[in-house]
Amino acid sequence: MKLIIGLGNPGSEYVKTRHNAGFMAIDRLVARRAPTQIFKARFGGLTVECSLRGGKALLLKPLTFMNRSGQSVAQAIAFYKLDPASDLLVLVDDVALSAGSIRLRPAGSAGGHNGLADIQRALGSENYPRLRIGIDAKPPMMALHDYVLGRFTDEQMSLLAPAIDKACDAIELFVSDGLDLAMNRFNKKDEPPAPPSPPPPHPVVY
């Protein structure tokens, strides 16, 4: 069993806000692989159990609000007797990545993210994988709190949609084949487009 945690805040006022990128990835994965299932209330959140490429996974959206996400994660980890270092994947928004980008990491500090900080507190360790979903850096004159709780712009949403699909592909590979393979495949930087070929030379007429 793999535990896939999407971080976010519950309530209609937070729908499509930048801090809810993790919730959005869980919703997309459910729509893709378990469209007939209904979320069940467990572990202080909403859960769906499904098969991803033949591997069992529990998809969980904590309803404890972002800065108490660790409560829900710890309950699920304890119930299934999982190892956070290999069986847990946290889906989280990241202002250090541009919108449209994703990155997988095996461990690391919370980096100022309240959800990750509370998970670290609850587990007593920062050694758990996370999939970071880029939401762009905040504008210089804007408070971080206001930025992450604001809604994505239309331009950001156009970049986020394919990134969420890519994140779902990475989650499935993590469940079926492990973190290392998923990192090798999905942490590659996008190749810049090739420059256009120069036009053929004009024939010389004598």
* Separation of alpha carbons 77 and 75, rounded Å: 6
- From the list 19, 113, 145, 202, the catalytic residue is 19
Tokens representing residue 83 in the block: 């190892």
Does 19 qualify as catalytic in the annotation? yes
Q: Which of 74, 84, 92 is nearest to 9 (CA)?
A: 92
Kindly report each contact of residues 22-26 with a partner whose C-beta sits within 8 Å and lies 24 or more positions away, as own/partner. Answer: 22/61, 22/90, 22/91, 22/92, 22/93, 22/115, 22/133, 23/61, 24/160, 24/164, 25/91, 25/131, 25/133, 25/164, 25/167, 25/168, 25/171, 26/59, 26/60, 26/61, 26/91
Catalytic residues: 19
